[in-house]
Amino acid sequence: MFSDLSRLTTLIICIGFLSFGVARGQQVTRYTFLTMERPAGFQTTTLTADGTREYAYEFNDRGRGPKIASRVKLDVDGLPTSMEISGNDYLKAPVAETFSISAGVARWKNQAESGERKLTEKAFYSSMNGVPEETALLAQALLKSPHKRLAILPDGEASVARTGDMTVNNGNGTRHVVAYEISGLGFTPSTIGSTNRTISSARSAVGVRLFAKAGNRLCRSC
């Protein structure tokens, strides 16, 4: 999921159970993709009643850009158990990617490869064509793992480490942000930031906002 040119963005990814729209038992969050401070695309995240995450993601970069629909199911550890991804990639090539786990065997297929592996440890599938929010899902799973480290499918290993913290101000208020680095996804670590925000008492949990830094921006629409 980290090879697409569309990932060269600053992503503001809101995960956990933070809800900005509710319809028929679904929680819907919308993000706006900004290029040179101008809207150029969007991502919507829908959390259904059964816990499935449904994503729609697209942006226009001078005629190029992805248009992706994705369905992701996670286990209790935040690890993908199934993915269905369709649409087109940044260069407008067709996308048809799947991932599933059955009887302890992980299977995946995309335009580059088709493979399977018997799982002997917990692992996170790194998709080839997924949406930006997958970075946040990986960060959350790493932070939940006992040693802040996970195997990556099809191959590799990722880890997360806290690197610092700071207080940011957007003109309307301040927020304390903790910085992390995810290692193992490329030649250099990926920067992630999080802010803890208490959510509804019915959930008795803490939502986590994750920020992945690179070039342009993806921001929650108000």
Give every CB contact of residue 140 below 8 A, 6+ residues apart in sequence.
15, 16, 78, 208, 210
pLDDT of residue 73: 97
Q: Decide which of 115 and 218 is more confident.
A: 115
- Whether the predicted pLDDT of 218 surpasses 50: no
pLDDT of residue 23: 52
Half-sphere exposure of 47 (CA within 13 A, CB side): 14
- Whether the predicted pLDDT of 220 surpasses 70: no
Q: Tokens representing 1?
A: 């999921």
Q: What is the DSSP letter of 142?
A: H
Extents of the domains making up the chain: 5-220
41-95 per-position pLDDT tens digit: 999 999 999 999 999 999 898 899 999 999 999 999 999 999 999 999 999 999 9
